Structure 1
Amino acid sequence: MEEGKSHDPKDVTKKGKSKMQLKRNIGYIDGVSFIIGTIVGAGIFVSPTGVLKHSLLNVGIALTIWTASGLVSLMGSLCYAELGTALPFSGGEYSHIKRGLGSLPAFVFIWTSTVTKPASNAARALLFAEYATQPFYGICPAPEVVKKCLALAVLWSLGILNGRSVKMAAWVQTVFTLLKMMALSVIAVGGIVLLVGGRRESLARFEDAFSSEIPSASQVAEAFFQGLYAYGGWWSLNYMAEEMKNPSRNIPLTVMTAVPAVIVFYLLVNISYLTVLTPKEIVSSVAVAVTWADRVIPSVAWIIPLSVAVSIFGALNSSMFTLGRLSYAGSQSGHLPVLMSMLNVHSCTPAPAMIFSTTIASIFIIPSDLIMLTNYFGFLPGL
């Protein structure tokens, strides 16, 4: 049976051609790139302080919570992998809610997501513009109009790319995921080298990892919440399950590769930060990775801000890809205008859905700033 085409006699037109539908173009490597690219954003580079702060600077408890949060996320992703294998449809939670709870909850979910998820993409685009433009202005803040123009340019470039070719979007995702993992590898390996080198104060920090004040149950819960938030995005593969090659094999295999890899990298990067910086320095730092680079590799510290921009770009591409599939699934069920269920005749991509979600995100960018958008999509449910 040829993948990507319908073989139901009802789907065959009078001319004998199969009905247009999404094709299975996403393989194992692409799936791993999308999951890692969605989970790993700017947070691990800029401000991985929430867990440590709510753990009362207790290094042992903080690392334990990072591990436990990753394992809980892995269990959730395996549950989603089972759903995606049994029901390989586009739309992720929307498709599962519609099948399990009915049309009304699914309708509420799709319309909430139609507003909040583009706001999240708008914030990512503005954050990318912030890091991409700042090196050209030194200590002076970059003009708002420059940042907004760049954010709109990046948003529409990715929107057009995702609307024209699934393979090209997947290739871009793979490249940028590799780049961000290389940057994390620099931090992780640098910390391991310093730790093995026997820095006395660093070794003492890990030998007495649990010697600091023990947080209360509510503080542990808050730290755990921060850890789970850092792993957000493990569910992204189910939004594109309809386009996965051999979903019964690749979906579980992809999850079992991507999420454990993120857990390992998160732990190694946090250990590296704690090797170079004290817990108080980490909590008080505006951009932990930049502070780390200034201490360890000051001659090439510019790599870290560049890595943050690369990481945000990859996360934005992945988020836009999945959002297009969500709008496409909602339109197919009649919960969004039927136009968004149409596909590009040349590449079988949901181009109208991509244009719609990109337009909504652009509307958020023009009158808003980064802080306003962060407060907006962080407050509303459904993100």
Structure 2
Amino acid sequence: PPAPFKTRGQNTSRVQTLSYSLLNALFLNYVLFSTGNIIGSGIFISPKGVLEHAGSVGFSLIVWVLGGGICALGSLCYAELGVTIPKSGGDYSYVTEIFGGLVGFLLLWSAVWIMYPTTLAVIALTFSNYVLQPAFPNCLPPYIATRLLSTICILLLTWVNCSSVRWATRIQDFFTIGKLLALVLIIVVGLVQICKGHYDALEPQTAFEFIRDPSVGQIALAFLQASFAFSGWNFLNYVTEEVVEPRKNLPRAIYISIPLVTLVYTLTNIAYFSSMSPEELLASNAVAVTFGQKLLGMFSWVMPISVALSTFGGINGYLFTSSRLCFSGAREGHLPYLLAMIHLKNCTPIPALLVCCTATIVILCIGETHNLINYVSFINYLSYGVTIAGLLYYRWKKPKLVRPIKVKLTVPISYLIFWAVLLGFSLYSEPVVCGMGLVIMLTGVPIYFIGVHWSEKPRWIYSAVEYVTYVGQKVWNIFPSFYFFDFVFLIFR
């Protein structure tokens, strides 16, 4: 808000009221932004994985609650970083500022080639499973069918994002309704079932009957599965420069959004167990569809449609943000400059979008959903841990730096202890999945020294890069505009 107005008489109270109203509206937007980015398709994917690794209904619910608490600790650390290093870009900006270009490049490299494409692949597979499940009620949808539909969905949304920013944002706004509708419907129906006395699986003596004896490694994997559903808790730090009064609004948004999301996720899982036994949930490839078939009767079609809308919008949102991260990295010189170019007419980062689309389709063809979740969650937690370790290093390196928000040392230390235990046992339980993520991340080291650090390259390398950029410009600028969207927009307007 602007500086305090110097007015007289009753106008002062009116201006103050307007300022407070503006602040409250902005704060509500931050809460909704944070909550909306966390709540996504993960809650329709992860319950099966969490229960499978936790081993019992009761312990899986504990994992969901503790997962929210761990996210709250991490969010408070990110709030301090957000006001101490007031740059948009989140982890990438903080790590680059604290540890230098190499570590920042490795984080960007892993995000562009692992985290975002893998997350997109998981959401796309969830979309295809929920769309196809009603057609295959007694078995899993065919492997080829799910991959083909997922690929078509990704290509379609890539085309939309290449053609029009306006339609990409309209798709995001519209399909958010599906996400909210599905969750509200599940929670309300589940609570009605509990009020009718259908809570056998939730009774203490039954809830803690373990399907198999849990190990520490399996518990760590259960937390990784839950963390996929909570991913997005740090997205507000990607727009720190646009947040009004971040000293107040960042922590306040955290205090409201994280407990709210944790409550919604816990209630959703309780609703699942009010109508399904653990065996039924583990046997289901689309939990919300099975839930709808058991309780909604002739209206069971609402559930797969709602979840499909949610996941479709999730794919669009991740394509939008991942291409912008790729674009930002190229603009900073950490990726080829071609990826920082935008279409002359559509003003969309077509090269960055096509790179994200290609990486997603490749990962889509080589992974299974729950393995992919372990894959991306491990790399996510690794990035979070490095960023929060940077907070402690920055305090030691610059102790006199002004920090508008300063959390107690027990907060980052507690997070890092949990982080070390979780990643250690995850690596022990899934050495191939987690090890491949580390290997891909470390492949960025030679790429950084050759592509970024080596400043005096031979002239022929620069000529080759310039030629590829020139050809790319010609190709991107003949990209056909999606006039159909403009036509539809004019009709509805």
TM-score (norm 1): 0.76
The Cα shift of 1:78 comes to: 2.1
Q: Is the 2:329–2:335 Cα contact (8 Å) retained in structure 1?
A: yes
What is the 5 A alignment of 1:201-212? Answer: 202-203=199-200, 205-208=202-205, 211-212=208-209
Q: Of 77, 101, 108, which residue of structure 1 is paired with 2:75?
A: 77
- 2:352 match: 357
Deviation digits for residues 56-83 of structure 1 (CA, Å, limit 9, x no counterpart)? 22x3222112101111112212221222
Q: Is the 1:77–1:234 Cα contact (8 Å) retained in structure 2?
A: yes
Higher helix share: 2
Residues matched between the structures, number: 349
- 270-279 or 28-37, larger mean C-alpha shift: 28-37
- 1:237 match: 236
- 92-101 or 241-250, larger mean C-alpha shift: 241-250
The Cα shift of 1:339 comes to: 5.8
Answer yes or no: is 1:157 the counterpart of 2:154: no
Query: Which residue identity lines up with residue 75 of structure 1 in the other structure?
Result: L
Matches of 1:247 and 1:339, distance apart in 2: 34
The Cα shift of 1:259 comes to: 2.1
- 1:113 match: 111
Instruction: Quickly say closer, same or farther: Cα 1:288–1:229, change in 2 above 3 A.
Output: same
- 2:97 match: 99
The Cα shift of 1:129 comes to: 5.9
- 287-296 or 359-368, larger mean C-alpha shift: 359-368
Q: Is the 2:58–2:204 Cα contact (8 Å) retained in structure 1?
A: no
Instruction: Quickly say closer, same or farther: Cα 1:230–1:369, change in 2 above 3 A.
Output: closer
- 2:278 match: 279
Matches of 2:200 and 2:133, distance apart in 1: 35
Query: Which residue identity lines up with residue 149 of structure 1 in the other structure?
Result: I
The Cα shift of 1:345 comes to: 9.9
What is the 5 A alignment of 1:273-352? Answer: 273-338=272-337, 351-352=348-349
What is the 5 A alignment of 1:85-234? Answer: 85-120=83-118, 122-123=120-121, 126-127=124-125, 130=128, 134=132, 142=145, 148-161=151-164, 164=165, 172-199=171-198, 202-203=199-200, 205-208=202-205, 211-213=208-210, 215-234=214-233
SS at match of 1:315: helix
Query: Which residue identity lines up with residue 86 of structure 2 in the other structure?
Result: P
Matches of 2:174 and 2:193, distance apart in 1: 29
Ranges in structure 2 where 5+ consecutive residues have no aligned partner:
3-24, 377-432, 442-493
Higher relative contact order (CA 8 A, sep 6+): 1
Q: Is the 2:34–2:232 Cα contact (8 Å) retained in structure 1?
A: yes
- 2:255 match: 256
Matches of 1:345 and 1:252, distance apart in 2: 40
Query: Which residue identity lines up with residue 185 of structure 1 in the other structure?
Result: V
Instruction: Quickly say closer, same or farther: Cα 1:28–1:329, change in 2 above 3 A.
Output: farther
- 1:12 match: none
Instruction: Quickly say closer, same or farther: Cα 1:135–1:204, change in 2 above 3 A.
Output: closer
Query: Rg: which structure is higher?
Result: 2
Matches of 2:157 and 2:119, distance apart in 1: 11
Matches of 2:146 and 2:189, distance apart in 1: 35
Instruction: Quickly say closer, same or farther: Cα 1:250–1:171, change in 2 above 3 A.
Output: farther
- 2:413 match: none
Deviation digits for residues 14-35 of structure 1 (CA, Å, limit 9, x no counterpart)? xxxxxxxxxxxx9555544544
Q: Is the 2:154–2:315 Cα contact (8 Å) retained in structure 1?
A: no
Deviation digits for residues 156-201 of structure 1 (CA, Å, limit 9, x no counterpart)? 313544xx35xx76665454334312211111111111111223xx
SS at match of 1:240: helix
Matches of 2:277 and 2:230, distance apart in 1: 24
Query: Which residue identity lines up with residue 356 of structure 1 in the other structure?
Result: P
Instruction: Quickly say closer, same or farther: Cα 1:159–1:269, change in 2 above 3 A.
Output: farther
Deviation digits for residues 128-179 of structure 1 (CA, Å, limit 9, x no counterpart)? 6625863897778549666533421112313544xx35xx766654543343
What is the 5 A alignment of 1:14-25? Answer: none
SS at match of 2:55: coil
Q: Alpha carbon RMSD of aligned pairs, Å?
A: 3.6
Matches of 2:276 and 2:123, distance apart in 1: 30
Query: Which residue identity lines up with residue 288 of structure 1 in the other structure?
Result: V
The Cα shift of 1:366 comes to: 5.8
Instruction: Quickly say closer, same or farther: Cα 1:332–1:89, change in 2 above 3 A.
Output: farther
TM-score (norm 2): 0.61
Deviation digits for residues 71-125 of structure 1 (CA, Å, limit 9, x no counterpart)? 1112212221222233332221110111111111112222332222452365157
SS at match of 2:203: helix
SS at match of 1:276: coil
Q: Is the 1:47–1:287 Cα contact (8 Å) retained in structure 2?
A: no
Ranges in structure 1 where 5+ consecutive residues have no aligned partner:
3-25
- 1:14 match: none
Instruction: Quickly say closer, same or farther: Cα 1:177–1:262, change in 2 above 3 A.
Output: farther
The Cα shift of 1:242 comes to: 2.8
